Amino acid sequence: MSGFRLQQIEVFNWGTFHQRIWRLALEGKNGLLTGDIGAGKSTLVDAITTLLVPAHRIAYNKAAGAEAKERSLLSYVLGYYKSERSEAGQSARPVALRNNSHYSVILGVFYNQATQQSVTLAQVFWIKDNGGQPARFFVVADEVLSISSHFTHFGQNINQLKKRLRLLSSSELLFDSFPPYAAAFKRRFGIQHDQALELFHQTVSMKSVGNLTEFVRDHMLEAFDVASRIESLIQHFDDLNRAHDAVVKAKAQIQKLSPLAKDLDLHTQLINQKEHWRVCREGLRYYFAYLKSGLLRQRIENLQDDIQKGTNRIAVLNDNRANALAERDHLTRELLVNGGDRAERLRLEIEGHIREQNKRKQTAKDYELLARDLELPFPDSFEQFIQNQAALKQRLQNGQIRESVMQNEITECTVRFKTEQQQHKILEEEIQSLQQRQSNISAKQVVLRTQLCQALNLPEEDMPFVGELLQIQDSESRWEGVAERLLHQFGLSLLVPDRHYQTVSAWVEGTHLKGRLVYYRVPAAIDARQRKTIQPGSLVEKIQIKPDTEFYTWLELELSKRFDFLCCEDLDDFRKSQQAVTPAGQIKFYGQRHEKDDRYPINDKSRYILGWNNQKKLNTLLLQKQEKEQSLHELSIQISQTQSARKELDQEKINILRLEAFKEFEALCWQKLTRIIATLEKEKECLEQASDVLKELNAALEKTTEHIKSLEQQLDQQKDKTSKSEAKMEWAQQQLSTCEQECLPEDCGEISALITALERYRAEALGSHQLTIEACDNKQQDLRFWIQKKIDSQDSKIKTLEERIIKAMEGYRRDYPAETQEVDARLEAGNELNSCYLTCKPMIYLALKNVLRLY
């Protein structure tokens, strides 16, 4: 059978065919669809119709005799399967199996047995907006496709599916509308006129024919229409023109992609070269461990030879020493036989007395030095020795008393020093704070206000302290001290305008202040008529309010209400008044309560808080700071002097205890031993002069003794040399063990290639040199630095190349936006552009093939 016949139809999420792929295999034969009402017969027929006829022209479900618009493309995509009424009983609404998160596919495979050619038509639908018509795209492929293999497992993004389908060499570009899609499959099927598809559309679901003549005339016969022939000719020209454009476009793409493909290959080469250098850098430890282990084995071999030679030398020296000792014993016996016994005893006695004499001399010298430090005489007699001992005990007791006094003095001065040091620190902080502002308020309160204003993003000028707005008139300075005492707490109060009250009160409530804060809520409008009349001579008259403050009226009212105290020079006036103050600082409240706080001087300006000029307070604090620094300096000197005296006392105590350790006067008397030694030496000299044999034997004995000393010295030197060689060999063996742990097997192909490469790089980087064990680590660092420079150079080249590649990608995407919709201008997309480059030439062949087919 010639011509294309339907091999199989597949649907996915089409109508009530839901959630899996449904397949009807006709294999080019006729088929009969049977089933109950609603089984899906018309649904499959409509799927085939939709593949070949534009959806807007199809009367869906016509095969079932349905009314017009009972079904639509939207109803098939969403899977309407029933209608239901709402609880209000209004019109029925369709119920769908799917929503806009699903997609639908219909696919038909057609086969021409005569030409052995397969063509697959497919359409994909999805919902973009609720209630809108389905979005779709169309596929024409010159091979057998299936839904399961080509239209699933692409994620949630339809663009990923498009991207996958474009990689199929047998498919044309995807179509977003029906006309170019229809032209593509009609060209393959050999359908030259739309009348054939119109006839298929009319008959595919027809159940009866009314007037056969009219049906044949309308649907089977074509009128000779010149306009349509001209339109066909134009369409034919357009197809040729599009094919030509496709060839030109593919050539232009190859021209742009060719240098990009070369750069991508070069990028791969540079990355591989950089990885090679990185492997070499990481392999340096194994390579130098390999070199170092060879050097260590050679050194161990040399040390083993040295140790063996040293051992043999020690054996020879031991034999010689044994012979010399035997000779000395023989000479000693000969001396005894020839009268040398007495001479030997005299020699031993003399040596013993000399040792004792030297010991007593050293003891006497030590005693004399300690006695001189303690200003005591050296004892010439036993009585003087006893007197010194008694004096030492008395001085020790006196020293303990002095030590206790000094320790108490040091403790007391240290406590005073720390207290005054803390006070000095507070003064410095207060001075630093005052130098940065004009008010006299303490730094602690200013910091608290700053924290509040920063937290609420408010200017500090909006919330002044009362003390920043009040001061005593210059002519009334006599009353400044008592005014400061009386208004101290009020002056430290913060004034909060009504506009900030809510935020300030909330912040204070939710914040741990770590201190005390008093603030007043100041209304926006204040009636000045509420001001109380003050008595003549009142303290309020002597207080000046800052002129330009918005709180002026409120402060007037508060002062007249709370601080109307009479200033009394005379105590009789003071006693008669209900509320009064005196220049000395005595305050009378409401006729009964009296207060006078003299814990601090009344004229101590360092405690003043009123006023908007702090120069007087600053001068007072600077003076106090100088006095405090002088006091700290004096205390420091006193502590240092006392500590020095204490150290001298401790040293004196040590000397006393050391001097008390000399318990016997006899241990200091070395002079009488001099006389004993002289007597014994004279007797020994007489014996030796009386016998020539004795002289010869003594000379031989002395020579042998010297020879023994020489042998023992040589033996000690050789043992020391051999011991050092053994220690060096032990160290070398430990180093060799460490190196062997880091070395990889030499028969390993990777390490063999690495060693070969690094040998070449070492000669290139370090030049001609003799490698030693001690220089291995430094040479390794030098070679590492050389390789790192290579890596850095590769990084620079790669960065420059990557910028050029990205720029080329951006240019290609700008020139071909449709083809690169799913391709980003990133290096990771290089493989996709390479694939595009490799498929451009087959695309030229395919376009030329289409041109030939059109001819």
Residue identified by tokens 């009585």 is: 383
The residue ranking higher by pLDDT, 846 or 51, is 51
Q: Among 62-76, 265-279, 283-297, 586-600, whose mean pLDDT is lowest?
A: 62-76
Mean pLDDT, rounded, for 202-226: 57
| Cα–Cα distance for residue pair 819/249, rounded to 1 Å | 11
CA separation for the pair 465, 609 (Å, rounded):
10
**Which stretch of 81-90, 322-331, 514-523 has the lowest confidence by average pLDDT?**
81-90
Q: What is the pLDDT of residue 8?
A: 94
The listed range with the strongest mean pLDDT (721-735, 810-824, 827-841) is 721-735
**Is residue 170 predicted with pLDDT exceeding 60?**
yes
Q: What was the pLDDT predicted at 485?
A: 92
Q: Give the pLDDT of residue 13.
A: 92
Among 624-628, 706-710, 767-771, the range scoring the smallest mean pLDDT is 767-771
Given a cut of 70, is residue 853 above it in pLDDT? no
Judge whether residue 837 has pLDDT over 90.
no
- 846 or 550, higher pLDDT: 550
Q: Give strand pairing partners of 137.
A: 124
pLDDT of 483 above 60? yes
Question: What pLDDT sits at residue 394?
Answer: 78
pLDDT band at 516 (very low <50, low <70, confident <90, very high): very high
pLDDT above 90: residue 497: yes
- Reduced DSSP (H G I as helix, E B as strand, rest coil) percent helix, strand, coil of the chain, to 5: 65, 10, 25
Residue bearing tokens 């003594």: 698
**Alpha-carbon span 105 to 103, nearest angstrom:** 7
Task: Report the distance separating Cα 605 and Cα 440, nearest Å.
Answer: 10
pLDDT of residue 324: 85
| pLDDT (tens digit per residue) in 83-141 | 887 666 566 778 888 888 889 999 999 999 988 899 999 999 998 866 678 999 999 99
Which residue in this structure is represented by tokens 């054939």?
196
DSSP state of 743: P
The C-alpha atoms of residue 436 and residue 575 are separated, in whole angstroms, by 44
CA 833, chain centre distance (Å)? 37
Residue 747 has pLDDT above 60, yes or no: no
**The residue type at 372:** R
How many other CB atoms are found less than 10 A from the CB of residue 127?
21
CA distance 180 to 649: 114
Query: What pLDDT does residue 243 have?
Result: 62
CA-CA distance, 463 to 455, in Å (whole number)?
Answer: 14
pLDDT in tens, 546-601: 998 999 999 999 999 999 999 999 999 999 999 999 999 999 998 899 999 999 88
Rounded Cα gap, residues 757 and 765, in angstroms: 12
Residue from 529, 561, 548 nearest 464 by CA: 548
Q: pLDDT band for 818, please (50, 70, 90 cuts).
A: low
Within 10 Å of residue 262's Cβ, how many Cβ atoms? 10
pLDDT score, position 212:
56
Mean pLDDT on 451-461:
93
CB 711 within 8 A of CB 317: yes
Integer CA distances (angstroms), 280 to 271, 388, 746, in order: 14, 81, 16
For residue 207, pLDDT over 90 is answered with no
Average per-residue pLDDT in the chain? 81
Which of the residue ranges 476-490, 596-610, 671-685 has the most confident prediction, judged by mean pLDDT? 476-490
- In one-letter notation, the amino acid at residue 846 is L
Written as six digits, the tokens of 623 are: 């003076």
Are β-strands 93-96 and 494-497 bridged in parallel, bridged antiparallel, or unpaired? unpaired
CB-based burial label for 139 (10 Å; 0-12, 13-18, 19+): buried
Across the range 196-205, mean pLDDT stands at 72
Instruction: Tell me what pLDDT residue 450 has.
Output: 93
Strand pairing category for 519-522 and 494-497: parallel
Spatial separation of the C-alpha atoms in residues 526 and 520, rounded to whole Å: 14
Sorting pLDDT into bands at 50, 70 and 90, what band is 347? confident
pLDDT band at 145; cut points 50, 70, 90 = very high
Q: SS3 string of 194-235?
A: HHHHHHHHHHCCCCCCCCHHHHHHHHCCCCCCHHHHHHHHHH
The end-to-end CA distance of the chain, in Å, is 25
pLDDT at 370: 76
Q: Compute CA 465 distance to the chain's CA centroid, rounded to the nearest angstrom.
A: 45
CA distances from 149 to 4, 23, 523 (A): 23, 13, 80
The pLDDT value recorded for residue 799 is 85
Q: For residue 476, what pLDDT is reported?
A: 87
Tens digits of per-residue pLDDT, 709-729? 998 899 899 889 999 988 988
Q: Find all residues with CB under 8 Å of 611, minimum gap 6, and list them.
A: 439, 440, 467, 468, 470, 471, 472
User: Maximum distance among all alpha carbons in the chain?
Assistant: 177
Given this model, what pLDDT does residue 688 score?
A: 64
Per-residue pLDDT of 242-282, as tens digits, reads 666 666 666 666 766 667 677 777 878 888 888 888 888 88
Percent of the chain with pLDDT over 70: 82
Please choose, from the candidates 824, 828, 799, 798, the residue with its C-alpha nearest in 3D space to the C-alpha of residue 812. 824
Instruction: Give the pTM.
Output: 0.34
pLDDT of residue 387: 79
Give the pLDDT of residue 327. 81
Task: Tell me the pairing of strands 135-141 and 93-96.
Answer: unpaired
Report the alpha-carbon distance of residue 379 to residue 142 in Å, rounded: 129
Question: 154, 161 in Cβ contact below 8 A?
Answer: yes
Rounded distance between C-alpha atoms, residue 389 and residue 383, angstroms: 10
684, pLDDT greater than 80? no
Note the pLDDT tens digit of each residue in 118-134: 999 999 999 886 667 89
